[in-house]
Amino acid sequence: MKWETNKTIINAHLEHLFGRKIMANAKNYTDEMVSIMKTEYQENPSRTTVDSLAKQFGKTTRSIIAKLSREGVYVAQPRTTKSGEPVIAKIQYVNALSAHFGVELPTLVKSGKQDLSALAEVLGLTVVAK
């Protein structure tokens, strides 16, 4: 009971200082909404499902993704280039080249990605995205 009294006093002081009341944390999503979101997303885990859920509940897609993440359901979509290929980091090219030559090449990361890609292609190396 003492904590509740202190909390009330603190809130009154904050209201006086900042001119606004401290509101109780309102739930953005009801349990029913969360259940529907989880079910629909697990049936079809894609960005289109997230977009339709956002429209259905009047929320942003980022809000839906955050809620699904907190619920442990959301699966991040793999990053792709404009052509639809998976993104390969320069360090992955450098690691493949280092393994091929058996030498550490730490400063090779400073090279351009196109040059690293061309070198890996000439050597016949297969570099896969993580």
**Does residue 50 lie in a domain region?**
yes
> The whole model's pTM is what?
0.54
CATH number at residue 66: 1.10.10
Across the chain, which has 130 residues, the per-10-residue mean pLDDT values are 65 67 70 93 93 94 94 87 85 91 90 91 87
What per-residue confidence (pLDDT) applies to 13? Answer: 67
Same domain, 112 and 93: yes
**Does residue 62 lie in a domain region?**
yes
Using only C-alpha atoms, what is the Rg of the chain? 25
Which structural domain, as residue segments, surrounds residue 100? Answer: 78-130
Domain count, the chain: 2
What per-residue confidence (pLDDT) applies to 24? Answer: 59
Contact 79, 86 (CB under 8 A): yes
Long-range contacts: 29-36, Cβ < 8 Å, 24+? Answer: 29/57, 29/67, 33/57, 34/67, 34/71
**Does residue 18 lie in a domain region?**
no
**Does residue 71 lie in a domain region?**
yes
Same domain, 41 and 73: yes
Long-range contacts: 123-126, Cβ < 8 Å, 24+? Answer: 123/97, 125/96, 125/97, 125/100, 126/96
- Which residue is listed with tokens 């001119």? 19
- Which residue is listed with tokens 């393994």? 99
Same domain, 58 and 88: no
CA–CA separation, 23 and 26 (whole Å): 8
DSSP state of 46: S
